[in-house]
Amino acid sequence: MKHTLGIFLFTILVTAFYGYVGQLVPQMETYPPRETEVGEDLTTSEMVDVGREIYEGKGTCVSCHTIGSTEAGRFPDLAGIGASSASKIEGLSDVEYLAESLFEPDTYIVDGFNPGMLPVDKPPISLNQQEVLAVIAYLQSLGGQPTVTMQTELGYAAENQESAATDVASTDKVGGAELGGEALLVAQGCSACHSLTEPVRLVGPSLFDVGKRLTRGEIYEALMVPDATIAESYPPGLMGASMSATGFYEKITLRQLEAMVDHLASLDGSK
Amino acid sequence: MKLDRRHGFLVVLVACLLIPVLVQAQPADEVAYRAFPVIGSRVAIWMVAQLHLLFAAFVLAVPMFVLIIEYIGYRTGEKRYDQLAYEFTKLLSVAFSLTAALGAMLTFMLVVLYPKFTNYLVSIFSWTFFPYALLFIAEAVFLYTYYYGWGKFSPRVHLALGVGLNLVGTAILFIADAWVTFMTSPGGITESGELENMWEAINNFTWMPINIHRLIANVSFGGSIAAAYGAYRFLNTKIEEERAHYDWMGYVGNFIAICAFLPLPFAGYWLANEIYGYSQNLGMTLMGGAFSWLFIIQAVLIGMLFLSANYYLWIGMERIKGAERFRGAIKYLLISITICVLVWAIPHSMVASIEEARKMGGAHHPWLSVLGVMSAKNTAVNILILTTYISFLLYRRGNKEPTVSWAKAGNLVQFLIFAATVAFVVFLGIYGYFVEAKVRIGLSIPQVLSVVFAMISVTVIDLMMFRKARQRAIRWGKMPVRAQYTLFFTAISFTWLMGLMGYARSGLRQHWHVYGVMRDTSVDAYTPTLGYASWVVSIIVLIFFVFIAFVFWLAGLSGSKVSK
């Protein structure tokens, strides 16, 4: 009996230990990719911003490609691709080369890499023609001058059809309830550039302890007028442009904004 | 008990036969999801599916090593092997009933909670359900005839029943794997998801790697649970003879678990390779994206498993007269294991405070992050496997003195094989930092092959060298209590690892029921945090051990084969 009880307690202890180990790694909920609105009337420079958002989100390009990394990755680093793409294949312009790489990625494989990239117009990525154009504009901007427009003919027909499924993340409701501040920050894509749970620098500064550093008013200002005060060593204009491109300022309601500010103010660096 | 078994069996049989009928009876505008109260549909399915898988793994694995043990007993004429095989089989009958009951529950819950998804899977695999149900009947017939017919048939007939049981069990596993792997790497369908070729749907990218991975993992897991049963009985008896018997049972279970565990990382590598082969995106999500931190938790688990397995062997040397001469080597083995586990568990980017991150110049530590990549981890795991193999080798030699004239030369050759293998593995690991991705990925294959070569060649030399060795007796039963708790630790860790990797395999699809074909549009379409998943896995493991305690208790009630 003594040992039976001992084994019982030991089992709970070991199980709890492993459960605790699971709490020590970064905690991140992953939502289905948001649909990005790509209007027919976007200018080329607006397409760059939208393209970047797709590149980092729905396109899942960041899973395999890096930009400006010195480490050898699984797929080619894309720094300078805007400048080099025109000379990759004789007879293909930069737009044609990028379009071929996106629609038929196995046609030309960069030396030293394996084939394996999925055509972006097919599931699970399923970009439409407009989204592909925006991505090309963004890729052109990496070291080159974007020239593509929403009217550019690529010579490929995007095959994806509207999914029968509803994109859960594109709605403001998950689980039938209005999203809370934390879920809104994730749903609005803030966590793509800011770490909310760890003191780790991503594209923007970590918001891990923002409640300790900024007042509620300053947080509100940082959201609504991002360039009013720029954290040291971060480029001005980037956050405002990103948020404008996603339609944040048009879509956000006062209640949602309050929920986001409340949550950010509560982040004091303790997990 | 007979009533319970019959019930479980009938329920699962009815479920298998009725699914196509039930699902096809749904109206065209059927609901896609129904909510499970309190915990939600995802967690409900998750828990029942994982519990079913754990029991199924146990029920399919135990007959494999039982058959081998029974065969050894038949060939050598040693009764103790037959007794041991029977003791393991006692655990099966109750576990089979629980597997069937949980399988039926899972089936009904899928039909009720995820009708649209279930309907789609049935539309693809409808014809596999009938052979599955028939095989299930055959499994029940073989299992109960094998168990109740122990000692009542001629040994050859009984062994043949064991072979039949294993063949049927493996076929059941392979069919169920087709359904599961199709969800991750669908094949044989059109772009709109309609069935084109059923064989291609079955033989999809990850089917065979999962089949092999599960077969090996099941044996490892089954061995560890059987060892825990030995430990449980050891701790709860005061009879010397029984203690000796259950000490030996625990040792054999642990031996089986570790033997199967050693090739498991290689099978896992093949599986990951096939996932990359099917979809680079899926591969990157698994190893470099949302799930990459899961592998740090996995590294902790596997590190613990290697440590506990080695620790049990080192304690076991205390009951072997003559093994004390190897005690000095243990500290070096421990150092090697510790370093390898640490390298395996080092993440590429660090969780750090703002100050620490500033000092490091980012999330990557200037030199620790160098150890966070696959080149270092592949090297570490290969050396970890070699070190554990050396522990086995020393344990095996504990009570033996070679009598062959070439023993010294044999030892030297073995040492040189080990040294050359380690040097080769480390060289390839370092070389991997200086070559492009395409070459680097391929380097793990010669690393693995060199370790396999070392283990096989050293084993062959060892078997020849100790063929007519002088042997001292092993004092079975002279094991401390902590050794038995170590066996439980191994069993719990294996179970937790199975739960974690079950989550990885399923969660990897993220917001897809069938990757790239059928999206998850339920309220649970998001992927939860690893912390949340860890607590769910912990709860599943605790529930499993409550059930297993019931199985142990019932098996104990039926009496021991050892005369008192």
Q: What is the DSSP string of B269-300?
A: HHHHHHHHHH-HHHHHHHHTSTTTTHHHHHHH
Average pLDDT over residues B29-50: 90
Residue B562 is assigned to a structural domain of this protein: no
Q: Give A149 to chain B, closest Cα distance, Å.
A: 28
Residue B311 is assigned to a structural domain of this protein: no
Q: Give B148 to chain A, closest Cα distance, Å.
A: 29
Comparing CB atoms, the residue among A24, A124, A175 nearest residue B516 is A124
B232 interfacial to chain A (CB closer than 8 Å): yes
Same domain assignment for residues B452 and B495: no
Same domain assignment for residues B63 and B203: yes
pLDDT, tens digit, 9 for 90 and up, residues B65-122: 999 999 999 999 888 899 999 989 988 888 999 999 999 999 999 999 999 999 999 9
Structure confidence at residue B433 (pLDDT): 82
pLDDT, tens digit, 9 for 90 and up, residues B304-352: 999 999 999 999 998 898 888 898 999 999 999 999 999 888 876 655 5
Residue B556 to residue B246: CA distance in whole angstroms: 12
A29 interfacial to chain B (CB closer than 8 Å): yes
B-chain residues within 8 Å CB-CB of A4?
A: 236
Average pLDDT over residues A133-160: 86
Residue B365 is assigned to a structural domain of this protein: yes
Residue B314 is assigned to a structural domain of this protein: no
pLDDT, tens digit, 9 for 90 and up, residues B471-500: 888 899 999 999 999 999 999 999 999 999
Give the A:B interface size as CB pairs under 8 Å: 183
Same domain assignment for residues B388 and B521: no
- Please answer yes or no on whether B525 and A16 come within 8 Å at the CB atom: no
Whole-angstrom CA distances from B194 to A122, B120, B187, B244, B517 are: 16, 9, 10, 59, 10
Which residue, of B452, B473, B494, is where some domain finishes?
Answer: B473
Whole-angstrom CA distances from B497 to A101, A170, B37 are: 40, 34, 28
User: Per mean pLDDT, which range of A38-42, A136-140, B416-420 is the poorest?
Assistant: A38-42
pTM of full prediction above 0.80: no
> Max Cα separation, chain B?
81
Same domain assignment for residues B450 and B534: no
Structure confidence at residue A208 (pLDDT): 85
Percent of chain B with pLDDT over 70: 89
Residue A111 to residue A76: CA distance in whole angstroms: 9
Q: Is B516 left (phi over 0), alpha (psi -120 to 50) or beta?
A: left
Same domain assignment for residues B266 and B357: no
Confidence of residue B438 (pLDDT cuts 50, 70, 90): low
Instruction: For residue B83, give both structure tokens.
Output: 């007794």
Which residue, of B436, B456, B473, is where some domain finishes?
Answer: B473
Number of domains composing chain B: 2
Contacting residues for B189 by C-beta, under 8 A, at least 6 apart = B124, B195, B196, B201, B517
Comparing CB atoms, the residue among B485, B516, B528 nearest residue A123 is B516
Q: What is the DSSP letter of B78?
A: -
Q: Give A43 to chain B, closest Cα distance, Å.
A: 30
Comparing CB atoms, the residue among B191, B496, B515 nearest residue A18 is B496
**pLDDT: is B556 or B54 the higher one?**
B54
Same domain assignment for residues B482 and B440: no
A249 interfacial to chain B (CB closer than 8 Å): no
Residue B309 is assigned to a structural domain of this protein: no
Comparing CB atoms, the residue among A25, A64, A112 nearest residue B530 is A25
Q: Give B77 to chain A, closest Cα distance, Å.
A: 35
Judge if the upstream peptide bond of residue A124 is cis by omega within 30 degrees of 0: yes
Three-state SS for B28? coil
Q: Buried b / exposed e across A236-254, counting CB within 10 Å, b at 16+?
A: eebbbbbbebbebeeebee
Q: What is the dihedral of CA B53, B57, B60, B66, to 10 degrees?
A: -160
- Please answer yes or no on whether B300 and A21 come within 8 Å at the CB atom: yes
Residue B340 is assigned to a structural domain of this protein: yes
- Please answer yes or no on whether A15 and B542 come within 8 Å at the CB atom: yes
Which residue, of B473, B492, B514, is where some domain finishes?
Answer: B473
Residue A189 to residue B412: CA distance in whole angstroms: 61
Residue B464 to residue A4: CA distance in whole angstroms: 44
- Please answer yes or no on whether B529 and A29 come within 8 Å at the CB atom: yes
Residue B249 to residue B229: CA distance in whole angstroms: 8
Residue of B nearest to A33 (CA): B511
Residue B27 is assigned to a structural domain of this protein: yes
- Name the A residues in 173-212 with CB < 8 Å from any B CB: 174-176, 198-201, 206, 208-209
Same domain assignment for residues B62 and B197: yes
Q: Is the predicted pLDDT of residue A150 greater than 60, yes or no?
A: yes
Same domain assignment for residues B292 and B337: no
Query: End-to-end CA distance of chain A, in Å?
Result: 40
Residue B564 is assigned to a structural domain of this protein: no
Instruction: For residue A27, give both structure tokens.
Output: 């905690």
- Name the B residues in 56-75 with CB < 8 Å from any A CB: none
Same domain assignment for residues B261 and B364: no
Comparing CB atoms, the residue among B437, B521, B541 nearest residue A168 is B521
Nearest-CA neighbor of B423 among B382, B370, B369? B382
Q: Is the predicted pLDDT of residue A13 greater than 60, yes or no?
A: yes
Domains belonging to chain A, first-starting first, are 44-141 (1.10.760.10), 175-266 (1.10.760.10)
Same domain assignment for residues B87 and B201: yes
Residue B484 to residue B231: CA distance in whole angstroms: 5
Matching residue, tokens 């918001």: A207
Q: Is the predicted pLDDT of residue A169 greater than 50, yes or no?
A: no
Residue B254 to residue B483: CA distance in whole angstroms: 11
Structure confidence at residue A253 (pLDDT): 67
A-chain residues within 8 Å CB-CB of B296?
A: 25
Same domain assignment for residues B286 and B344: no
Q: Which domain holds residue B338?
A: 321-473
B518 interfacial to chain A (CB closer than 8 Å): yes
Residue B540 to residue B53: CA distance in whole angstroms: 11
Average pLDDT over residues B407-433: 93
Q: Is the predicted pLDDT of residue B5 greater than 60, yes or no?
A: no
Same domain assignment for residues B420 and B522: no
Residue of B nearest to A61 (CA): B281
